[in-house]
Each structure stands twice: as C-alpha cells, then as structure tokens.
Amino acid sequence: MDWLAAGARMRARLCKYAIAAVKAMTKLRRQSFAGGKVITELPLETDATTVTRIMTLSDEISADELRALMATGANDANQSVQLLDVRSSLERLFGAIKPSAHVSLGALEKPDASALLAKQGLRPDKRTVVYCASGMRSLRALEVLRERHGFTRAQSLHGGMRAWRRV
C-alpha cells in the first residue's frame, strides 16, 4: 500500500508545480499588457528558464473592442474584420463567433495551410482576428499567420471564447 501513497504524493507535487507555472504565466501575460510594459524575464518563483517571444499590446484585442469593431465594420467596408477560429471541430460545435472561418491550429501549422486559408476566403491583407477557447492557441496561430502566411494585420482575441461569452 506504500506505493499507492507514494503515487498520490507524486501526483499532488506535480499538480502543485503545474498550478504554480500557470499562475506565473498568467501573471507574466497580465504584466506584459499593463501600459505596454515589456517583460524580459519570468517572475523568480517559477522554474521556467526561457521565454520564446514577448507579445506586444497590439497583438491582442479585447472582446469589447472586437464587438465594437464588428459593429462599425458592418457599416464601413474599410473597418471590416475577418475572424479565424483555430479551435478543434468538436469545440466549434459548442459555439463560435459568427461569421468566422475555421482552420484548426494543427492544420494551420502544416506546410499546405496557405491553400486552406485561401479556400476559407481569408486574405492576408485584411484585418484578421484569431480566436480559440482561452486565447493561448490563438497567440500561437497569430505567430504562424504572420511568419508563414503574411497576415500582417492579424490580432488575437484576448481571453478567447471565454471572454467573448462574458461580454
């Protein structure tokens, strides 16, 4: 029975470290958008050793800002925005922001994704807002869209569908 207790202790310890890491990353993300302040290192209480890229204030848009943009875009073609959902097909069944194209993050990272984006009617020169469930996958998708597919006017929905549903 000692191995059961040891396993439970190990799971509790791993869970504790995972929660600490999530809290640290949330704190880092919150700080990086406070007045455009750039964060160059992780808080000391984490075990993480590197940060690959610090996102800037212009990389994300709030749910309120997106609603306002969509409202003005309906009346003004120059302000219109295209939406890209990078969640899985199963997640999309539970709701989506309409109208939005759907290309999962996995498909977006494949070499032939440009054709898939074009098939969905997405244009690299048009303002694009990418969203997922909580805003993390959309940040990765934002990087991929900019670096591999030339979407220079792309932004991520801060907080994803969770934030959208709260507004």
The CATH number of the domain holding residue 131 is 3.40.250.10
pLDDT of residue 71: 86
Pair (25, 80) in one structural domain:
no
Of 3-12, 34-43, 107-116, where does mean pLDDT reach its minimum? 34-43
Pair (145, 121) in one structural domain:
yes
The answer to whether residues 133 and 160 touch, using CB atoms and an 8 Å cutoff, is yes
Task: Report the pLDDT averaged over residues 53-64.
Answer: 71
Pair (94, 156) in one structural domain:
yes
Pair (33, 87) in one structural domain:
no
The answer to whether residues 133 and 85 touch, using CB atoms and an 8 Å cutoff, is no
Say yes or no to pLDDT of 6 above 70: no
Q: Which of 138, 163, 132, 143 is nearest to 65 (CA)?
A: 163
Instruction: Say whether 95 sits in a helix, a strand or coil.
Output: coil
Task: Report the pLDDT averaged over residues 82-93.
Answer: 93
Pair (75, 40) in one structural domain:
no
Pair (152, 91) in one structural domain:
yes
> CA-CA distance, 98 to 40, in Å (whole number)?
37
pLDDT of residue 88: 93
Say yes or no to pLDDT of 103 above 90: yes
> CA-CA distance, 49 to 57, in Å (whole number)?
23
Of 24-28, 125-129, 130-134, where does mean pLDDT reach its minimum? 24-28
Tell me the Cα Rg of the chain: 19
Pair (151, 83) in one structural domain:
yes
Q: What is the mean pLDDT of the chain?
A: 78
Cα dihedral sign, 136-140-143-149:
negative
Percent of the chain exceeding pLDDT 70 equals 62
Pair (43, 65) in one structural domain:
no
Structural domain of residue 113, as residue ranges? 57-166
Pair (28, 65) in one structural domain:
no
**Whole-prediction pTM:** 0.64
Q: Which of 88, 126, 123 is nearest to 107 (CA)?
A: 88
Task: Count up the domains in the chain and report the number.
Answer: 2
Pair (85, 140) in one structural domain:
yes
